[in-house]
Homo-oligomer: A and B are copies of this chain.
Amino acid sequence: MSGNAFGKLFTVTTWGESHGPAVGVVIDGCPPRIPLNEAVIQSMLDRRRPGGSVASTRRKEADRARILSGVFENMTTGTPIAIMIDNTDADSSAYRPFADVFRPGHGDISYQAKYGIRDWRGGGRASARETAARVAAGAVAARVLEREHISVRAYTVELGGIRADKRDFRAVDENRFFCPDPVAAEAMERRVREIKKQGDSLGGIVEILATGVPAGLGEPVFDKLDAELARALMSIGAVKGVEIGAGFESAAMLGSRHNDSISPEGFQSNNAGGILAGISNGDEIRVRAAVKPIPSIEKPQQTIDEDGTPRTLSVRGRHDISAIPRINVVCEAMVCLVLADHLLRQKAIQS
């Protein structure tokens, strides 16, 4: 429970470094008799794969998930589900020049301060590679949710300053940014190509929508559903902000406008984002995560090495221009983990 585990009843523990032999996850607390096989996990994992977008790295990660325990004859047994993904295309040599340098925007300097040692190969534990394990776990959580008719979807609503004005969900899978606004998607494409030439990188905003969530999930006070979602999303390396429903816009709204009126047919608006007092209210849950630009850029940057000597750094190599869209499925996985956990927690107190 030292930071690598998540969830109270549906508990996942991830392990692995970017350039070690593998990354993996142990899921403890998955209910028994849920249909599960490697293909289900693989299909969610494939959405995280680089190369699906011009914004993504050219590294070819096989990302082949193997289930090592907890599943018998294609059904979960209630015992821990261990999933392992080998690191097959890990080339550490490219990182050798940075072995003693603190790359700006990376955890090199903070890991060194914390532990006095760090695996510098590809960011080690702080690498985005770790999120492959989260996605594998999220795929299992999604199966648990599916049984209760809950579905979760992440999509891009901003990239490089370009906002999606529409929410046309049919469009999401028809562009490489998983953007629900086809016109914005085209502008994003142009923006990415332009920035790539400059050797720079871009940030953006991902929105995650959960539908079918029954009222009553979430615990009072500290484990409010929105608090748990905030933690879950902010635990993704590149995320710098999280908001629910009207989010930061709430700050400038009047109470009379922010309050969601209730009629016999349901809520008349959803500024709450589907959560009241930390507990789901039966409406759609809508959260957004602000994603910072990828810190590894070709443009030269000023930094220091472990001895405090100034260094100029230019990171070439196989890096994404933006964490979006690969990060989307990671956000989706994290929301699935939170909802699956709270679904089980709520079952525990129901009579």
- Find A344's partner among B78, B224, B262, B349 (CB 8 Å cutoff): B349
Chain B residues within 8 Å of A229, by CB: 234
Measured CB to CB, the closest approach of chain B to A71, in angstroms, equals 9
Let me know if A53 is at the binding interface, CB within 8 A.
no
B2–A11 CB distance below 8 A: yes
Chain B residues within 8 Å of A280, by CB: 110
Whole-angstrom CA separation of A344 from B2 in the bound complex: 12
Q: Mark A225-255, 1 if CB is under 8 A from B, else 0.
A: 0111111111101001111111110111111
Let me know if A291 is at the binding interface, CB within 8 A.
yes
Let me know if A160 is at the binding interface, CB within 8 A.
yes
Whether A301 contacts B224 in the complex (CB less than 8 A), given A107-B279, A110-B215, A248-B241, comes out as no
A111–B277 CB distance below 8 A: yes
Chain B residues within 8 Å of A75, by CB: 117
- Find A110's partner among B13, B201, B279 (CB 8 Å cutoff): B279
- Find A243's partner among B113, B130, B241 (CB 8 Å cutoff): B241
Whole-angstrom CA separation of A195 from B116 in the bound complex: 54
Measured CB to CB, the closest approach of chain B to A249, in angstroms, equals 8
- Find A105's partner among B118, B217, B259, B349 (CB 8 Å cutoff): B259
* Chain B residue nearest to A222 in the complex (CB): B6
B290–A248 CB distance below 8 A: yes
* Chain B residue nearest to A231 in the complex (CB): B231
Let me know if A88 is at the binding interface, CB within 8 A.
no
Whether A351 contacts B33 in the complex (CB less than 8 A), given A1-B28, A291-B250, comes out as yes
Chain B residues within 8 Å of A200, by CB: 254-256
Let me know if A46 is at the binding interface, CB within 8 A.
no
In this complex, which of A82, A255, A310 has the most chain B Cβ atoms within 10 angstroms of its Cβ?
A255
Let me know if A114 is at the binding interface, CB within 8 A.
yes
A278–B241 CB distance below 8 A: no
Whole-angstrom CA separation of A70 from B161 in the bound complex: 38
Chain B residues within 8 Å of A14, by CB: 80, 221
Whole-angstrom CA separation of A246 from B111 in the bound complex: 21
B349–A29 CB distance below 8 A: yes
Let me know if A5 is at the binding interface, CB within 8 A.
yes
Chain B residues within 8 Å of A21, by CB: 66, 68-69
B32–A349 CB distance below 8 A: yes
Q: Which residues of A contact B (CB under 8 A)?
A: 1-9, 11, 13-17, 20-24, 26, 28-29, 31-33, 66, 68-70, 72, 75, 77-82, 84, 102, 104-107, 109-111, 113-119, 124-126, 130, 147, 158, 160-161, 195, 200-205, 214-224, 226-235, 237, 240-248, 250-256, 258-264, 268, 271-273, 275-282, 290-297, 299, 301-304, 308-310, 344-351
- 7 extra A-B contacts, CB within 8 A, seeds A16-B69, A22-B69, A264-B308: A17-B79, A84-B84, A105-B276, A161-B252, A230-B234, A242-B242, A253-B292
